Structure 1
Amino acid sequence: MTEHVLYGGKGGVGKTTMAAATGLASAKRGERTLVVSTDPAHSLSDSFELALDGEPSAVRENLFAVEIDPESRADRYQSIVSAIASDLRAVGISLSEDEVERLFGSGIPAGGDEAAALDVLAEYVDSGDWGRIVFDTAPTGHTLRLLELPDVLDAALETTDSVRGQLHRMATSTRSMLMGPAAYFGREGGEDELAELKARMERAREVLRDPERTAFRAVLIPERMAIAETERLVERLHEVEMPVETLVVNKVLEDVDEGCSRCRTRRDQHRKRLAEIHETFPAFEIVTVPDETGEVHGVESLERIAERLEL
């Protein structure tokens, strides 16, 4: 049983439902569990029929949920932006607020949703408050950016650190010629924030790539296009060293009215697609979740799915 579970896949396949049901199953086993939505189009509130925000809210005993708001974490990046602008001013490059905005953005880097998700992962892992954390990720493209982001940010932060070091040396050299020993006092900060951000990203990368601690479960439905997209997703997950061994096939038609020819045809089609999935992913554990009538909302309907997800 891994400490962290990430659900991913194309939009509309039921990732949020699977994450919510998994959180429910973990909580019933007595594990203090947090379900985190990193999808900008949050629907976790709908699944639990509970208003959620950027702080963990209690759903039931041992179960909490949170919907990440990237804007609420802008201050973590703004201090670094401010420090870089200060360094530039120290060497005689004066920037207006509008120019800082154009150069560095609003304080949230490109891929801010994913950066905020990684921040949350590192924060909650460090806290030690949770026996298990379940992530409901955004559709495939966002999820891949999330998993690739630690490497991308690592390079960007190394460059930022290097540039800041050069600017500091230039500023100190200039000030020392004018002020003597006093030049070494009163430097503005920012190094701590940058170091902390780099450390958080590194911890997130280690956690995500540790198969003893983290599992990625790809969710799909028994349709040809979904199978093809899942195949591409799994390939990219392997490239970024993400442990993925389980597929959850949702909305599988199982029990039908034998008097309904259209229902039988659809059921047989699903059986054919399931056989194709087993053939395409022979080394994977494949879990099927039956087609539910209507949308899945509320703890009672999630409990039925949780029984299928006892992994």
Structure 2
Amino acid sequence: MTETDTSIVLYGGKGGVGKTTCAAAHALARSRSGARTLVVSTDPAHSLGDAFERELGPDPTEIRDSLAAVEVDPETGQEAYRGVVEALVAEFRSAGIRLDDADLERLFEAGLIPGGDEVAALEYVARYADADYDAVVFDTAPTGHTLRLLDLPDVLAETLGVAGDVQRRVRRTARAARSMVLGPAAYWGGGDDGDAVAALHDRIEAVGAILRDPERTGFRVVCTPERMAIAESERLVARLREAGVPVDSLVVNRVFTNPDDCDCDRCRRDERRHADRLAAVEAGFDLPVRRVPELPGESQGLAALERVADAL
């Protein structure tokens, strides 16, 4: 399977390098080829709607035939966390530990599950990875957020594992106490169906497996032909590989090409500088390099995105 065949593509990199434009253009290109495509922004500071010049929300909005877009609602992560806290509180109450609504709020605010924005992003990966789309493209947050997102499945698996152990111990204690009064009837209806902790644990583990599956997922690191962006891309590629996330290519955005062959000093200087940086990128990265030319004017709207799509 080649990088263009993966059903899930994530775009990430330093803030301000054009991840949203590239993700939107890639999704547009996939839909143009006939693939039913969804593009999802997981960046808390959403700009995907601006790229398409459309109002977007937490549910898919149709952009054109075969293309829909969505912006992650951070409340989704908080809802998943609240479900875990409520499940634990229910077990405590069943064991005779008195907890009121104020106690529940304190548990919720204590931050058992870290990273509301990242948890929400993982929830959207889980929600749409196996949905009725041929391709799902993610416009991720800047590098720091993205690395936390990639670390989160392991962090949550450990946290939820501990929460599940606590829940099971409390459940066993409550059943033992009830059995002293009710006998075997204490165990009737005591199955684990609908266990919010175990369900979220399994869901998060499944997302972690998806993000590391090269048959399904490809990560594209976006940079501009500037030293700081290239250096951050080197660190991001290394970190992605450490995490086992398949990196399929490097996208160098806003490359100056001097299409009119202008002879002024500034154009010649920028053309040489970008050519030198591209040569350094191609020598320094063992990845396919995609070049996206600098576009005149704003890179918003379908017409502008179509021009970017041709390079992706």
The answer to whether TM tops 0.5 is: yes
**8 Å contact 2:223–2:253 — kept in the other structure?**
yes
Asked if 1:119 corresponds to 2:117, the answer is no
Q: CA deviation at 1:108?
A: 8.8
Asked if 1:294 corresponds to 2:302, the answer is no
Asked if 1:142 corresponds to 2:145, the answer is yes
Check 1:147–1:173 CA distance in 2 against 1; reply closer, same or farther (3 A cut): same
Q: Map 1:157-176; keep pairs closer than 5 Å.
A: 157-176=160-179
Alignment coverage as a number of residue pairs: 307
Q: Structure 2 length as normaliser, TM-score? A: 0.92
Q: CA deviation at 1:104?
A: 3.1
Separation in structure 1 between the aligned mates of residue 266 and residue 63 of structure 2, nearest angstrom: 39
> 2:14 is matched with which residue: 10, 25, 32?
10
Separation in structure 1 between the aligned mates of residue 70 and residue 215 of structure 2, nearest angstrom: 24
Check 1:125–1:108 CA distance in 2 against 1; reply closer, same or farther (3 A cut): farther
- 1:91 aligned residue: 95
- 2:44 aligned residue: 40
Separation in structure 1 between the aligned mates of residue 191 and residue 79 of structure 2, nearest angstrom: 17
Separation in structure 2 between the aligned mates of residue 162 and residue 232 of structure 1, nearest angstrom: 37
Query: Quick one: which amino acid aligns to residue 164 of structure 1?
Result: Q
- 1:23 aligned residue: 27
Query: Quick one: which amino acid aligns to residue 67 of structure 1?
Result: E
Separation in structure 2 between the aligned mates of residue 93 and residue 193 of structure 1, nearest angstrom: 20
**8 Å contact 1:80–1:190 — kept in the other structure?**
no
Q: CA deviation at 1:14?
A: 0.3
**8 Å contact 1:83–1:190 — kept in the other structure?**
no
Separation in structure 2 between the aligned mates of residue 181 and residue 107 of structure 1, nearest angstrom: 38
Q: CA deviation at 1:285?
A: 0.3
SS in 2 for 1:36: strand
- 1:61 aligned residue: 65
Separation in structure 2 between the aligned mates of residue 86 and residue 192 of structure 1, nearest angstrom: 11
SS in 1 for 2:130: helix
**8 Å contact 1:220–1:248 — kept in the other structure?**
yes
Q: CA deviation at 1:92?
A: 3.9
> 1:152 is matched with which residue: 138, 142, 155?
155
> 1:197 is matched with which residue: 180, 189, 200?
200
Query: Which segment drifts farther, 293-302 or 230-239?
Result: 293-302
Gapped regions of structure 2 (runs ≥ 5): none
**8 Å contact 2:17–2:224 — kept in the other structure?**
yes
> 1:78 is matched with which residue: 82, 85, 96?
82
Check 1:242–1:221 CA distance in 2 against 1; reply closer, same or farther (3 A cut): same
Separation in structure 1 between the aligned mates of residue 103 and residue 294 of structure 2, nearest angstrom: 53
SS in 1 for 2:210: helix
Query: Quick one: which amino acid aligns to residue 15 of structure 2?
Result: G
**8 Å contact 2:95–2:170 — kept in the other structure?**
yes
Identity, in percent, stands at 51
Query: Which segment drifts farther, 42-51 or 255-264?
Result: 255-264
- 1:178 aligned residue: 181
Q: CA deviation at 1:198?
A: 2.0
Residues 166-224 of structure 1: CA distance to partner in whole angstroms, max 9, x if unpaired?
01111111222234334334659785322321222122122111111110000000111
Gapped regions of structure 1 (runs ≥ 5): none
Query: Quick one: which amino acid aligns to residue 126 of structure 2?
Result: A
Residues 217-242 of structure 1: CA distance to partner in whole angstroms, max 9, x if unpaired?
00000111111111110111011100
Query: Quick one: which amino acid aligns to residue 158 of structure 1?
Result: G
Separation in structure 2 between the aligned mates of residue 87 and residue 107 of structure 1, nearest angstrom: 19
Task: Give the alignment's Cα RMSD to 1 decimal.
Answer: 2.0
Query: Quick one: which amino acid aligns to residue 295 of structure 2?
Result: E
Separation in structure 2 between the aligned mates of residue 203 and residue 71 of structure 1, nearest angstrom: 21
SS in 2 for 1:308: coil
**8 Å contact 1:78–1:106 — kept in the other structure?**
no
